Amino acid sequence: MLTALQERKLDKAFDHMDVNHNGDLELDDLIALGVRVLAAFGVSPDSDLGNRLFGTYTDFWEVLLTKIDLDGDRKISREEYQLGMNAAFIEDPDGYERALRPAIQATLDVTDVNGNRVLDLEEFQRFQSAFGTSPEDAELAFRKIDTDRSGALSIEELVEAGRQFYLGEDPDLTGNWLFGPV
């Protein structure tokens, strides 16, 4: 059973991924999201980074279909998403490591422009804009997730924030802020 916080976080994630806003997630939505991320950083879809990003998004999509597409229509409704994310990732945290973490890691590899394994505020805001997060909410998220107060987000801080966002039920987790307030 999902908590109210988990439902709000999953709703926010669903809205980010439903790029065409038709109420269902489809592979085209994840591809469009990948295109947005790549465009925000001037990365070619045909580059190694672009191919890796699309590969992990496609792999993530296949896991979603297997675990979440309850009626087999190759679309995922909001209800299927909430039920399925709970079963696939919250009740089975290893599912995060197998499917969601690689997609998050590939996204962060694109956003780490200078390859220093950290994102500064500007890189983070560009990353967040691809997901539809306002610059103000992205800055707030950055401040909350920067747990070591270094002024930069390490890839590990971001991967952990992703884990907390998708799996956590504790309202005090910093990862709840990954995409701004929920």
Q: Nearest-CA neighbor of 30 among 48, 10, 41, 16?
A: 16
Q: Is residue 93 pLDDT above 80, yes or no?
A: no
The domains found in the chain, sorted by start residue, are: 4-167 (1.10.238.10)
Whole-prediction pTM value? 0.87
Maximum distance among all Cα pairs of the chain, rounded to whole angstroms: 46
Residue 117: Cβ within 10 Å count:
13
Per-residue pLDDT tens over the stretch 95-140: 778 877 888 888 888 998 888 889 999 999 999 999 999 999 999 9
Q: Nearest-CA neighbor of 166 among 76, 68, 95?
A: 95
Point out which residues pair with 77 in neighbouring strands. 24
Tell me, what's the pLDDT at 100?
78
* Sign of the C-alpha dihedral computed for residues 15, 102, 107 and 143 taken in this order: positive
Tell me, what's the pLDDT at 171?
95
Q: Count CA atoms within 13 Å of residue 164 on its CB side.
A: 18
